[in-house]
Chain A
Amino acid sequence: MSERVVYLDHAATTYVKPEVLEEMLPYFSEKFGNPSSIYSLGRETKKAVEEARDRVAAALGAESREIFFTGSGTEADNWAIKGAAYANRKKGNHIITTAIEHHAVLHTCQYLESEGFEVTYLPVDENGLVSPQQVADAIRPDTVLVSIMFANNEIGTIQPIAEIGKITREKGVIFHTDAVQAVGNVHINVKNMNIDMLSLSAHKFYGPKGVGALYIRKGIKVTNFLHGGAQERGRRASTENIAGIVGLGKAIELATANIDAYNKKLIELRDRTIDEVMKRIPYVRLNGDRYKRLPGNVNFSFEFIEGESLLLMLDMKGIAASSGSACTSGSLDPSHVLLAIGLPHEIAHGSLRITFGEENTQEDVDYLLEVLPDIVGRLREMSPLYEKVKRGEKNV
């Protein structure tokens, strides 16, 4: 193994910042009270939850009573989509989403199809963008919900959320956005952007895993997802994950306070990586929009090689990254996002996602640029597809 470790997979998850951890710790020990309890130990944790709620609301431009804590980004997506679909069934049973959503949204929509709902999966262009016009054209009198992700977790494409929000608001259709990858990377204001529901997850912005939140605009009808006690003002039962909620609150406050400096730094790392890799390695393509993309996201396809092999070799050099290749599961198809932007299967198999974060430096990029061309070269020398190219049998 390499002695050097370079973590380039921040879209998968981030570490917990020390300031965040510090605020969380007392809630595992001395401040352990149940917020529903009447005595002071309970009131103390109740207050902590409400402070965290205020911080989330401030970060999104929402009101505190519009924020509901959940157990994850996945739960927030499930709740928003199933909740809005079931609560508005009298109006209709049509849902609009996109072909490149995270599985937390896609599989929820597929489940609703099995429950009798009709779902339109909007296609995206070659950069992974949906157009507001596509949304406008897809809305029907029986449409109850539009769910479109703010930013894509694989290729980083940022959607025209404000423009879409304008259309859905005019047409009176509920608009949900999965902003799990966007929070802390993109300026968000749910009021200005006409967003009705928004999902987020703490572990993508240096908060803990297993805690998220759903913003539900006042007046939007959503059925409950978890039934039980009266927590979260009767909307989401479960004794609160106090430490997690506190951590989420602190993390979102830090993330939004530092967003401009953070973006600037990540964009420098991203752009240099994109430019240099494309200069140094032949037969490579950048997946996703060159500019409308998350500041820390790079996604390449290297032709003639397969992604898992690439990840294993990078791992031997201490570099942690991701791929959209078909692997680790019993199935053989590559990422639905890469296929949706029109990549042929064999090129989608050779994808590499690099996502930068707080602790990365230009030295990390130097190191990546030092090892990546060799690794790609080695795998190509092993590849029967590349052999054909060298012999001129295969058109590229």
Chain B
Amino acid sequence: MYSQKVMDHFMNPRNVGEIPDADGIGEVGNAKCGDIMKMYLKIENNIIVDAKFKTFGCGAAVATSSMATEMVKGKTIEEALAITNKAVAEALDGLPPIKMHCSNLAEEAIKAAIEDYMRKNGKSGNGNGSCGVCCRKCEDVHSQYEE
């Protein structure tokens, strides 16, 4: 069900870990729904020089976290903010439709980390630094036991 690229980023995730002196940290998602993404950014002169993540979630959540950190590295803040969930999914050669919400999470995590950075640096008044669960909710019951 996953592309080879997703499996590669899942099995060999890039940039796992924390940045102790991160300039921006964003945490989105909700353990209740089964995924949390935490992104750490190091920003110098408006450029993202390093990115790391920790993720609790399914294969797609890990792979999109990994890809999102790869994509933001070397980008300006404005460029990073322009990264869409679709772009993350496309960079992974696509995600199964039911997993597209994981790519939302990656986009949100980038935005949340940048917002955190802006807030700490007095550059932005809007938002509270984390989108949290505003963009999605746990709906409908279904599990993945093969029955």
**Known A-B contacts A330-B140, A345-B138; A382 and B55 likewise in contact (beta carbons under 8 Å):** yes
A322 to B147, CA, bound (A): 9
| Smallest CB separation, A101 vs chain B (Å) | 11
A332 to B57, CA, bound (A): 11
In the complex, A197 has a CB within 8 A of chain B: no
In the complex, A371 has a CB within 8 A of chain B: no
In the complex, B38 has a CB within 8 A of chain A: yes
A334 x B56 contact (CB < 8 A) = no
Within 8 A of B (CB), among A357-386: 381-386
A324 x B38 contact (CB < 8 A) = no
**Known A-B contacts A306-B35, A345-B32; A312 and B59 likewise in contact (beta carbons under 8 Å):** yes
| Smallest CB separation, A38 vs chain B (Å) | 41
In the complex, A240 has a CB within 8 A of chain B: no
In the complex, B120 has a CB within 8 A of chain A: no
B10 x A309 contact (CB < 8 A) = yes
| Smallest CB separation, A289 vs chain B (Å) | 18
A154 to B147, CA, bound (A): 9
In the complex, B49 has a CB within 8 A of chain A: no
Point out the residue from B2, B10, B139, B146 that lies within 8 Å of A333, measured CB to CB.
B139
A344 to B33, CA, bound (A): 11
Interface centre among A316, A333, A387 (most CB of B within 10 A): A333
In the complex, B58 has a CB within 8 A of chain A: yes
Set of chain A residues within 8 Å of B54, measured between Cβ atoms: 382-384, 387
**Known A-B contacts A305-B56, A327-B58, A328-B1; A334 and B147 likewise in contact (beta carbons under 8 Å):** no
Interface centre among B35, B57, B144 (most CB of A within 10 A): B144
Set of chain B residues within 8 Å of A349, measured between Cβ atoms: 31, 34
B139 x A382 contact (CB < 8 A) = no
Point out the residue from B18, B59, B141 that lies within 8 Å of A387, measured CB to CB.
B18
**Known A-B contacts A328-B1, A332-B136, A345-B32; A309 and B145 likewise in contact (beta carbons under 8 Å):** no
**Known A-B contacts A13-B146, A326-B142, A328-B98; A384 and B33 likewise in contact (beta carbons under 8 Å):** no
B145 x A334 contact (CB < 8 A) = no
Which residue in chain A gives the minimum CB-CB distance to B18? A387
Interface residues on B, range: 35 or more
Interface majority SS (helix, strand, loop, mixed), chain B: mixed
In the complex, A103 has a CB within 8 A of chain B: yes
**Known A-B contacts A331-B139, A382-B13, A384-B27; A325 and B55 likewise in contact (beta carbons under 8 Å):** no
Set of chain B residues within 8 Å of A13, measured between Cβ atoms: 146
> What number of A residues sit within 8 Å (CB to CB) of B?
45
A323 x B145 contact (CB < 8 A) = yes
Set of chain B residues within 8 Å of A385, measured between Cβ atoms: 31, 36, 56
**Known A-B contacts A345-B31, A382-B16, A384-B38; A324 and B58 likewise in contact (beta carbons under 8 Å):** no
Chain A residues near B (Cβ < 8 Å): 9, 11-13, 102-103, 153-154, 304-309, 311-313, 316, 322-336, 344-346, 349, 353, 381-387
Other A-B contacts than A312-B7, A385-B36, 17 sampled, CB-CB below 8 A, are A12-B147, A102-B147, A308-B59, A308-B144, A309-B59, A312-B11, A325-B144, A329-B140, A329-B142, A330-B101, A331-B142, A345-B31, A346-B31, A349-B31, A353-B145, A382-B16, A382-B56
30 A-B pairs within 8 Å (CB atoms) are namely A11-B145, A12-B146, A153-B145, A306-B35, A306-B56, A306-B58, A309-B62, A312-B10, A323-B143, A324-B145, A325-B143, A326-B138, A326-B144, A327-B144, A328-B1, A329-B98, A329-B142, A330-B139, A331-B140, A332-B101, A332-B138, A333-B143, A335-B143, A344-B32, A345-B32, A345-B138, A346-B31, A346-B32, A382-B16, A384-B38
Q: Which 10 A-B pairs have the closest CB atoms?
A: A346-B31, A12-B146, A329-B142, A331-B140, A335-B143, A308-B58, A384-B54, A332-B138, A345-B32, A384-B38
